[in-house]
Each structure stands twice: as structure tokens, then as C-alpha cells.
Amino acid sequence: MASRSTNPRGASRVRRRVLLGTAVLVVLVALAGLAAYLTRDSRQTSKTTEPHQSSIAASSAASPAESPSPSKRAHALPVPPNTHDPIAFGKAAAAALWSYDTRAYSQAELLTALHRWLTAEIKYADPASVDAVVPSPVLWKEMAANGQFATAKVTEGHFPDSFTRALQADPGTVTQAYVYAVTVSGKQSIAWKGSPAGGAENRVTTLAVQCRPSHPCALAGVMPSVAP
């Protein structure tokens, strides 16, 4: 902890998380993990996301190497939609976070594209929470060797009950930062060379989405816990 307090970049990251947490705290009172989100080490968070993906990459390494089907188009980098609807934006952002294509672009290019989804208001943006859901450069290289890619299908998006109750109790709580909580459900399908069908699993996440009346929606961050 002492090393983080003397690191300007680390201190800046913590300040951003605190400001983001302040903006959404009143509408996410049901999230017991919010405090951990504001103080967690992003490297530890990355480790929690890698075992599942690395196990997929490892299993795909045993598959015979072959070229992807010509009918399987490489996925383009995600571009944020121009919308003022926080639920519509949240669904699009979740799909972007759950999708990748190691055949089409690098890990750094994907991170750059996802950072364009973040709000330009730096004090409310938490890029570290976005970085945490993207495979590390080392894991990405392993996945790329097997031509691994993922697609996402979003089935539903809504405001969490805690958010709705907070707005009903005090509609003015959101008018300072205009940050909304959006919970999105869907399915992620993963495939690789030699296994075009791949595997699929259900996914659900809660995002902090900023939608000021004068600007299109933007992503503020990915919450560490799902708000139902």
C-alpha cells in the first residue's frame, strides 16, 4: 500500500475510482463490493479474469491448426453508438466488452478502441476497470496463436432495483454526474482454430454509464459486482 501512495500514476487511478464511486454510490447502495472496487489493485482484478480465458486458450492449443473458415469474417473493433439512452448504450458496451478477435487486431488496439467508449470527463472515467476485462498481452499472444475469438449476444438490459429505488426516493441524485447503473445479461460464444463451434457461457455485468442531456452516452466504468 505504501508503494501505491508514492506512485503518482497509482494515486491518480485511486482518485478516479473514488470520484466515480461518489457519483454512483447513492444509486448503488445495494452493491456491497463497491468499497473494494474503489481500492482494489487492478493487477489483482486482471488475475481474476485470466484463468477462465487461459483455460480456453490452453484447450484450444490441443486442437489441430487450421485456417478459419472463409465465411467467418474477422470482427471489427467496437465503435460506441450515438445514443442518449443509457440502457441501449449499456447493452452495446457489454457486447463490446464480451467480444474480441485475436485474428483481426492486437490487444493494444482493442484497449485503445474500448477506451474511446469512456467519458471524456476524466474524473468519472475508470479505464482500469475496462482494462481488467481484456486478456493480458501475454494471454492474448497465446490466444492469437490459436486464432481465438469471441462473439456476444445481449439478451436484456435494465436499471438495477437499487438504482430505481434511489431515483424514486430522490430524482435529483443523478443530475450532478448523470451516471446511471445498467445491468446487462447475455451470452458469450468463444471459438478457435479446429473448434468452430467453441463454447458458450452466460454473462451478466453492471456498468456505470454517463448520459448527460447535452452529450451522447459514454462509459464510466465496469462495476465489480452485479446489481440485480
Query: What pLDDT sits at residue 88?
Result: 98
DSSP collapsed to 3 states, the chain: CHHHHCCHHHHHHHHHHHHHHHHHHCCCCCCCCHHHHHHCCHHHHHHHHHHHHHHHHHHHHCCCCCCCCCCCCCCCCCCCCCCCCHHHHHHHHHHHHCCEECCCCCHHHHHHHHHCCECCCHHHCCHHHHHCCCCCHHHHHHHHHCCCEEEEEEEEEECCHHHHHHHHHCHHHHCCCCEEEEEEEEEEEEEECCEEEEEEEEEEEEEEEECCCCCCCEEEEECCCCCC
Instruction: Check whether 53 has a pLDDT greater than 80.
Output: no
Spacing of C-alpha 82 from chain mean position: 18
Distance CA 203, CA 192 (A): 19
Query: What pLDDT sits at residue 43?
Result: 37
All three cell numbers of 17:
475510482
pLDDT tens digit string along 59-86? 433 333 333 443 344 579 999 999 999 9
Give me Rg for the CA atoms of the chain: 18
- Return contacts of 66-72, CB within 8 angstroms, 24+ apart: 66/193, 66/194, 67/193, 68/103, 68/147, 68/193, 68/196, 69/196, 72/196
> Is pTM beyond 0.75 here?
no
Distance CA 117, CA 127 (A): 10
pLDDT tens digit string along 158-169? 999 999 998 889
Confidence tier at 120 by pLDDT (50, 70, 90): very high
Q: Which of 177, 176, 183 is nearest to 204 (CA)?
A: 183
Mean pLDDT of all residues in 194-205: 84
What's the mean per-residue pLDDT of the chain?
78
CB-CB contact of 148 with 56 (8 Å) = yes
Describe the crossing of helices 137-145 and 42-61 by its angle, rounded to 10 degrees.
10
